[in-house]
Chains A and B, each alone.
Chain A
Amino acid sequence: GAVVSQHPSWVICKSGTSVKIECRSLDFQATTMFWYRQFPKQSLMLMATSNEGSKATYEQGVEKDKFLINHASLTLSTLTVTSAHPEDSSFYICSATRQGGARSKNEQFFGPGTRLTVL
Chain B
Amino acid sequence: QKEVEQNSGPLSVPEGAIASLNCTYSDRGSQSFFWYRQYSGKSPELIMFIYSNGDKEDGRFTAQLNKASQYVSLLIRDSQPSDSATYLCAAGGSQGNLIFGKGTKLSVKP
Contact = CB atoms under 8 A, between A and B. Distances in A.
Interface size class of B (residues with CB under 8 A): 20 to 34
Contact of A104 (B32, B88, B101): B32
A106 B96 contact: yes
B69 interface: no
A46 B42 CA distance: 16
Nearest to A115: B41
Nearest to A114: B43
Contacts, number: 56
A104 B102 contact: no
Interface size class of A (residues with CB under 8 A): 20 to 34
A106 B43 contact: no
A103 B49 contact: yes
Contacts of A31: 96
B35 to A, nearest CB: 12
B17 interface: no
24 contacts: A31-B96, A43-B88, A44-B44, A46-B100, A91-B41, A93-B43, A97-B96, A103-B49, A104-B34, A104-B49, A106-B31, A106-B32, A106-B34, A106-B92, A107-B32, A107-B34, A107-B49, A108-B98, A110-B36, A110-B43, A110-B44, A110-B45, A112-B42, A113-B43
Given A49-B97, A104-B49, A113-B42, 18 more contacts: A46-B97, A46-B100, A49-B95, A97-B96, A104-B31, A105-B92, A105-B96, A106-B31, A106-B92, A106-B96, A106-B98, A107-B32, A107-B34, A107-B49, A108-B34, A109-B46, A110-B45, A112-B43
